[in-house]
């Protein structure tokens, strides 16, 4: 175990290092490291084996703790065991770690998004825009990109479904498409199958767990002639994936996203971990962050509100 006088070293482990959201989290964690003068070790952990190797590696480097978004939340017990064995502090970000019964692990503090509420904002945004366009609900399909094995993903899309239902959208027009992974390509493939099976809709609403899910589906819909006037997609995130879409000269089906805060999730978790290590001040057991609907029109304003 590291001695109290050792310089503070903190790991930041993420499941999908190539995804802009995680790049942003790392960037803000770096900011915290500069400010507080600790060193930050960033490691991508695409699977359980890499995750365990990364934790061992941190211990060997005399790190005192880490922030983690695990490749599978069911690895929770493995994380808890590893941290106890080698005396490292752990906090989860984005995806809350669970035990064998699917129950959150109490010894690991967590910062995540208020998934269900944010999902509701997605659903309300889709309905609002659909009404503005005057579409008859009977002509509209709503595609739910599903990754139900991840609780935060399931809660996000459930929020959207409930908002659609509450707004009178016909439940039978909601179509599920299960992604095998949480990237754009898997979403593209899943959406393609769903569109092939449901050719009777004139318009589509699209939602999913993040911007990548929605973007992949939008690309699939566009490939079938659903231009932006027939398609409304709202993602969750607001990092580069969404910004790239918004900066295209031509409108795409990617109408909006609920902006969430990579600054809070990156900077704040790193600071929390630092204070736990250096000042013996443990993080709050659970912190849930909020989001705001962002479109091409209000993006500058909303990003500014988030300090981005
Ligand atoms: C999950 C998703 C990411 C991001 C994050 C807040 O980890 O996989 O895309 O939405 O939650």
Q: Are 6 and 63 in contact (CB under 8 A)?
A: no
94 lines ligand 1 (CB under 6 A): yes
> What is the spatial distance between Cα 232 and Cα 295, in angstroms, rounded to a whole number?
11
Structure tokens at 28: 């803000």
Task: Read off the pLDDT of residues 39-76 as tens digits, 9 standing for 90 and up.
Answer: 999 999 999 999 999 999 999 999 999 999 999 999 99
Nearest to 164 by CA among 152, 148, 182, 176: 176
pLDDT the model gives residue 43: 98
Work out the pLDDT band at 5, boundaries 50, 70, 90.
low
- The pLDDT tens digits of the residues spanning 213-247 come to 999 999 999 999 999 999 999 999 999 999 999 99
* CB atoms near residue 172 (< 10 Å): 8
Distance from Cα 284 to the centre of ligand 1, integer Å = 20
The DSSP-derived string for 180-226 is: SSSSHHHHHHHHHHHHHH-TT-SEEEEE-SSHHHHHHHHHHHHTTT-
Please answer whether residues 118 and 159 qualify as being in contact, where contact means their C-beta atoms are separated by less than 8 angstroms. yes
**Confidence category of residue 2, pLDDT binned at 50, 70, 90:** very low
For atom 11 of ligand 1, the residue with the nearest CA is 94
> Does the C-beta of 113 come closer than 6 Å to ligand 1?
yes
pTM: 0.97
Q: What is the pLDDT of residues 177-222, one digit of tens each?
A: 999 999 999 999 999 999 999 999 999 999 999 999 999 999 999 9
pLDDT tens-digit series, residues 120-155: 999 999 999 999 999 999 999 999 999 999 999 999
In the reported structure, the alpha carbon of residue 258 is separated from the centroid of ligand 1 by a whole-number distance in angstroms of 12
What's the pLDDT band for 1 if we cut at 50, 70, 90?
very low
User: Order of strands across the sheet with 65-69?
Assistant: 39-44, 9-14, 65-69, 89-93, 110-113, 286-289
Q: In angstroms, what is the span from residue 45 Cα to ligand 1's centroid?
A: 14
């Amino acid at each position: 175990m590291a001695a109290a006088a050792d310089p503070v070293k903190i790991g930041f482990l993420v499941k999908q290092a190539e995804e802009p959201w995680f790049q942003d989290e790392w960037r803000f964690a770096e900011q915290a490291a500069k400010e507080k003068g600790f060193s930050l070790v960033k490691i991508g952990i695409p699977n359980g084996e890499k995750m365990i190797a990364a934790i061992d590696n941190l211990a060997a480097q005399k790190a005192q703790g880490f922030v983690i978004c695990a490749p599978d939340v069911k690895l929770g017990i493995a994380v808890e065991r590893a941290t106890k064995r080698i005396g490292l502090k752990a906090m989860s970000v984005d995806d809350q770690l669970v035990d064998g019964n699917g129950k959150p692990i109490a010894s690991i503090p967590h910062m995540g998004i208020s998934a269900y509420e944010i999902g509701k904002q997605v659903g309300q945004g889709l309905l609002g825009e659909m009404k503005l366009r005057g579409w008859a609900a009977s002509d509209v399909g709503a595609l739910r990109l599903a990754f139900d094995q991840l609780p935060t993903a399931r809660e996000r899309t459930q929020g959207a479904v409930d908002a659609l239902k509450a707004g009178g959208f016909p439940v039978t027009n909601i179509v599920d498409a299960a992604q095998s992974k949480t990237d754009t390509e898997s979403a593209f493939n899943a959406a393609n199958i769903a569109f092939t099976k449901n050719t009777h809709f004139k318009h589509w609403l699209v939602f999913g767990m993040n911007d990548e899910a929605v973007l992949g589906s939008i690309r699939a819909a566009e490939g079938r002639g659903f231009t932006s006037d027939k398609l409304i997609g709202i993602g969750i995130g607001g990092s580069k994936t969404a910004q790239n879409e918004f900066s295209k000269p031509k409108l795409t089906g990617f109408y909006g996203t609920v902006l969430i805060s990579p600054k809070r999730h990156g900077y704040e978790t790193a600071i929390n971990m630092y204070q736990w290590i250096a000042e013996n001040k443990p993080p709050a057991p659970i912190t849930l962050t909020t989001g705001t609907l962002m479109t091409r029109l209000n993006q500058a304003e909303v990003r500014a509100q988030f300090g981005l």
